[in-house]
Amino acid sequence: MENIYEVISSIKEAFEKEDLVGLKKIIDETDPSVLVEVLNTMDSELRAKIVPYVDLIKVSKHISKLSDEAIIEIENYKGLDEIVELLYWLPSDEAVDFLQKLSPKTIAKILKTISPSKAKELRELLKYSPESVGGVMTSRIPVFTKGMKIADVLEEFVKKIKIGYYDTYNYIYIVDNDGKLIGWIDAKQTFIANRDKFVESYATNPLATVYPEADREEAARLAVKYDMIEIPVVDREGRLLGAVTIDDVLDIAIHELSEDLLKHGGLLEPIRLSYTSSTVKKLVVNRAVPLVILYVMNTIVGSIVAAFTHIIEKVAVLAAFLPMLADNSGNVGSQASTIIIRSLALGELSTKHVKYILMKEIALSLAMACILLPIAMLISFSITFLAYRNVYYALKIGTIVISALLVSVLISDIVGSMLPLLLLKIKQDPASASAPLITTIADITTSITYFTVATVMLGF
């Protein structure tokens, strides 16, 4: 594959030399998939200059990979006719995705320009949120009414395939006279079926269907669960509206995974652009704001430590074990939240499983404590004994450390596992239970537990 940075360098050089013929040659000879990466990676000023020379039809198969900023510049620097032509080339779901990134004024102009049938098709899909199943489904699928013979179905089916009418044709969908889904037939099976039989006699029920209002992640979850390459989309009355195809399922899965990773990493919002095309300002806003919030939260930890300075002054060795305890509890909480978020994403768990998760995580915490406590006791006893040469004193400090460790592991595990469920309950993304947030909460609970136990056991 061509190196995108070499292509960008060549484009810059052509502009500096004012060699428009050479520029067009570079753009025309660049692989479409690479050209899309080039558009996403280069800075806005240079991209605005080359967008007028890009053939939109050439990159149509990869148009869904374009960043929002690149699409806005296409809107600004390309003529309406070129955009309309592109929409006819795109599958209906991708056409709607593209339209939704344009301004309302441009969308209105486009819908007035295209044919009434195409405008109706796109309007039906535009009414759904981009994050919903309806926002990613395609309505251009093979649909036939019961009562038709296989021979007639095949004739029309093949005719429409030849003219490129369908966005997908893995299955032939059968509906009744009211448009309600009866079942589907594997397209390959149709060609070997008895031509004189009615189409519904071969129909089988799909393993799953999904509503258009559902989160698009639900379609991906069902596809994985039932090993389906298409998910039929029906309304509440069972009428067939369209289907979500395997390429959309993969796009959803990749998008949701990257979004969840970014959120769990503590970013304010997902970065829509690639790292290379994201400006320093955008990255600072995404990364600095959560850090400021966490920094303010960490002042609570500082206040707790400050409140127990009289103990630290008398037993300085206590300070040596606080980072170990805090890091350990943060790790436990992050592990728990990651596992729960993954299970929620796969549909294994829901908010109905709170009691089950709580009991299981308590059991896990106690089991992990059985492994960690002897190690913590050995380390804390050894360090204290080497410092004070007093076995009794070393045992006491060791007991304080493992007591605090037991409580902090238990609390951190419960917080880490319950926070994603709480967010889901209040209709927020569970991935927002970021690792830095859980670590900060764990630090607070660990500090309180550690110094409280020390105060009691040392008799202060």
Residue 402 lies in a domain: yes
> Which of residues 74, 102, 127 is at a domain's end?
127
Please indicate, yes or no, whether residues 295 and 440 belong to a single structural domain of this protein.
Answer: yes
Please indicate, yes or no, whether residues 16 and 100 belong to a single structural domain of this protein.
Answer: yes
- Please list the pLDDT of the chain residue by residue as tens digits (460 residues): 467 888 989 999 998 888 989 999 999 999 999 999 899 888 888 888 899 999 999 999 999 888 888 899 999 999 899 999 999 999 888 999 999 999 999 999 999 999 999 999 999 999 998 889 999 999 999 999 999 999 999 999 999 999 889 999 999 999 999 999 999 999 999 999 999 999 999 999 999 999 999 988 889 889 988 999 999 999 999 999 999 998 888 887 766 666 665 665 555 555 555 566 566 777 777 777 777 877 787 788 888 888 888 888 888 899 999 988 988 988 898 889 888 987 887 778 888 999 999 999 999 999 999 999 999 999 999 999 999 999 999 999 999 999 999 999 999 999 989 988 998 888 877 766 667 778 888 888 889 989 998 988 887 6
DSSP letter assigned to residue 227: T
User: How many domains does the chain divide into?
Assistant: 3
Residue 259 lies in a domain: no
Residue 413 lies in a domain: yes
Residue 85 tokens read as 């032509």
Rounded Cα distance, 144 and 138, in Å: 16
Please indicate, yes or no, whether residues 453 and 306 belong to a single structural domain of this protein.
Answer: yes
DSSP letter assigned to residue 205: -
Residue 170 lies in domain? 143-244
Q: Which pTM value belongs to this model?
A: 0.65
Task: Pick the closest to residue 118 from 143, 141, 140, 133 (CA basis).
Answer: 140
CATH number at residue 34: 1.25.60.10
CATH number at residue 298: 1.10.357.20
Please indicate, yes or no, whether residues 287 and 240 belong to a single structural domain of this protein.
Answer: no
Residue 22 lies in a domain: yes
Kindly report each contact of residues 35-38 with a partner whose C-beta sits within 8 Å and lies 24 or more positions away, as own/partner: 35/7, 35/59, 35/62, 36/62, 36/63, 36/65, 36/66, 37/4, 37/65, 37/274, 38/4, 38/7, 38/8, 38/11
> Which of residues 188, 217, 244 is at a domain's end?
244
> What's the gap between Cα 259 and its chain centre?
4
Please indicate, yes or no, whether residues 156 and 109 belong to a single structural domain of this protein.
Answer: no
DSSP letter assigned to residue 256: H
Residue 373 lies in a domain: yes
